[in-house]
Protein backbone atom coordinates (compact mmCIF):
# COMPACT_ATOMS: atom_id res chain seq x y z
CA UNK A 1 0.00 0.00 0.00
CA UNK A 2 0.88 3.67 -0.13
CA UNK A 3 3.26 5.13 2.44
CA UNK A 4 3.68 8.89 2.84
CA UNK A 5 6.53 10.47 4.77
CA UNK A 6 6.36 14.13 5.79
CA UNK A 7 9.09 16.46 7.03
CA UNK A 8 9.72 18.36 9.16
CA UNK A 9 7.49 17.40 12.07
CA UNK A 10 7.68 20.93 13.47
CA UNK A 11 8.51 24.20 11.78
CA UNK A 12 8.95 27.58 13.43
CA UNK A 13 9.11 30.64 11.21
CA UNK A 14 9.11 34.38 11.72
CA UNK A 15 6.14 36.25 10.38
CA UNK A 16 6.79 37.24 6.79
CA UNK A 17 9.23 34.41 6.11
CA UNK A 18 8.50 31.41 3.90
CA UNK A 19 7.68 27.89 5.05
CA UNK A 20 8.29 24.68 3.12
CA UNK A 21 6.95 21.23 3.97
CA UNK A 22 8.08 18.16 2.04
CA UNK A 23 6.41 14.80 1.49
CA UNK A 24 7.49 11.64 -0.29
CA UNK A 25 5.24 8.81 -1.39
CA UNK A 26 5.91 5.20 -2.29
CA UNK A 27 3.17 4.19 -4.75
CA UNK A 28 4.07 5.40 -8.24
CA UNK A 29 0.41 4.94 -9.22
CA UNK A 30 -0.76 7.66 -6.81
CA UNK A 31 -2.20 10.52 -8.82
CA UNK A 32 -3.87 12.92 -6.41
CA UNK A 33 -2.10 14.88 -3.67
CA UNK A 34 -4.11 17.15 -1.38
CA UNK A 35 -2.86 19.28 1.49
CA UNK A 36 -4.97 19.83 4.59
CA UNK A 37 -4.63 22.46 7.31
CA UNK A 38 -5.92 21.63 10.76
CA UNK A 39 -6.14 24.31 13.41
CA UNK A 40 -6.33 23.27 17.04
CA UNK A 41 -9.69 21.68 17.80
CA UNK A 42 -10.94 22.11 14.23
CA UNK A 43 -11.53 19.90 11.21
CA UNK A 44 -8.89 19.28 8.53
CA UNK A 45 -9.55 21.73 5.70
CA UNK A 46 -8.31 21.34 2.16
CA UNK A 47 -6.06 24.23 1.25
CA UNK A 48 -4.68 23.09 -2.07
CA UNK A 49 -4.35 19.93 -4.14
CA UNK A 50 -2.47 18.79 -7.20
CA UNK A 51 -3.01 16.06 -9.72
CA UNK A 52 -0.27 14.02 -11.31
CA UNK A 53 -0.62 15.66 -14.70
CA UNK A 54 0.47 19.01 -13.23
CA UNK A 55 3.88 19.98 -11.85
CA UNK A 56 2.97 23.08 -9.91
CA UNK A 57 -0.11 24.87 -8.64
CA UNK A 58 -0.42 28.19 -6.89
CA UNK A 59 -3.18 29.88 -4.93
CA UNK A 60 -2.23 33.30 -3.56
CA UNK A 61 0.43 32.68 -0.87
CA UNK A 62 0.28 28.91 -1.15
CA UNK A 63 1.90 26.73 -3.80
CA UNK A 64 2.41 23.03 -4.25
CA UNK A 65 5.00 21.35 -6.45
CA UNK A 66 5.06 17.73 -7.58
CA UNK A 67 8.00 15.70 -8.85
CA UNK A 68 6.58 12.41 -10.11
CA UNK A 69 9.96 10.97 -10.99
CA UNK A 70 11.31 11.48 -7.50
CA UNK A 71 7.90 10.80 -5.93
CA UNK A 72 7.85 13.85 -3.77
CA UNK A 73 5.69 16.92 -3.41
CA UNK A 74 6.04 20.07 -1.37
CA UNK A 75 3.92 22.83 0.12
CA UNK A 76 5.26 26.37 0.01
CA UNK A 77 3.76 29.18 2.07
CA UNK A 78 5.10 32.66 1.41
CA UNK A 79 4.78 35.79 3.58
CA UNK A 80 3.62 33.71 6.54
CA UNK A 81 1.13 35.20 8.97
CA UNK A 82 0.20 34.17 12.53
CA UNK A 83 -3.06 32.66 11.22
CA UNK A 84 -0.98 30.20 9.22
CA UNK A 85 -0.09 28.50 12.51
CA UNK A 86 -1.63 25.01 12.38
CA UNK A 87 -0.85 21.38 11.65
CA UNK A 88 -0.48 20.66 7.95
CA UNK A 89 -1.04 17.18 6.52
CA UNK A 90 -0.05 16.01 3.09
CA UNK A 91 -1.83 13.04 1.55
CA UNK A 92 -1.68 10.82 -1.49
CA UNK A 93 -4.10 8.49 -3.20
CA UNK A 94 -4.74 6.60 -6.40
CA UNK A 95 -8.22 7.68 -7.32
CA UNK A 96 -8.75 5.28 -10.21
CA UNK A 97 -9.87 2.58 -7.82
CA UNK A 98 -9.81 3.38 -4.12
CA UNK A 99 -11.50 6.75 -4.02
CA UNK A 100 -11.10 8.55 -0.77
CA UNK A 101 -8.54 6.16 0.62
CA UNK A 102 -6.19 8.96 1.45
CA UNK A 103 -2.87 8.05 2.99
CA UNK A 104 -1.83 10.93 5.19
CA UNK A 105 1.64 12.02 6.21
CA UNK A 106 2.36 12.34 9.92
CA UNK A 107 1.78 16.09 9.91
CA UNK A 108 3.84 19.25 10.39
CA UNK A 109 3.19 21.65 13.26
CA UNK A 110 3.81 25.12 11.88
CA UNK A 111 4.27 27.98 14.34
CA UNK A 112 4.47 31.53 12.98
CA UNK A 113 5.86 33.98 15.51
CA UNK A 114 5.10 37.71 15.17
Partner 1 sequence: DTEVTQTPKHLVMGMTNKKSLKCEQHMGHRAMYWYKQKAKKPPELMFVYSYEKLSINESVPSRFSPECPNSSLLNLHLHALQPEDSALYLCASSQVVRQRGNTIYFGEGSWLTVV
- State the nearest-atom distance from the C-beta of 12 to partner 1, in Å: 16
What's the CA gap between 35 and 105, in Å, rounded? 10
- State the nearest-atom distance from the C-beta of 37 to partner 1, in Å: 11
Among 68, 44, 41, CA closest to 54: 68
Residues between 51 and 90 with contacts to partner 1, criterion CB under 8 A: 51-53, 87, 89
- State the nearest-atom distance from the C-beta of 60 to partner 1, in Å: 18
DSSP state letter for 75: E
**With binding defined as CB under 8 A, does residue 2 bind partner 1?**
no
What residues contact residue 12 under an 8 Å CB cut-off, 6+ apart? Answer: 110, 111, 113
**With binding defined as CB under 8 A, does residue 95 bind partner 1?**
yes
Q: Which helix (H) or strand (E) holds 61?
A: none
> Binding residue for partner 1 (CB under 8 A) from 19, 102, 110, 112?
102
What's the CA gap between 39 and 86, in Å, rounded? 5
Residues lying near partner 1 in the complex (CB under 8 A):
31-32, 34, 36, 42-46, 49, 51-53, 87, 89, 95-96, 98-102, 104-107
Amino acid sequence: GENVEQHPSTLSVQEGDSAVIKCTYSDSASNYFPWYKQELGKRPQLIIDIRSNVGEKKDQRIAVTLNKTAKHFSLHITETQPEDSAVYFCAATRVTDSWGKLQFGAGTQVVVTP
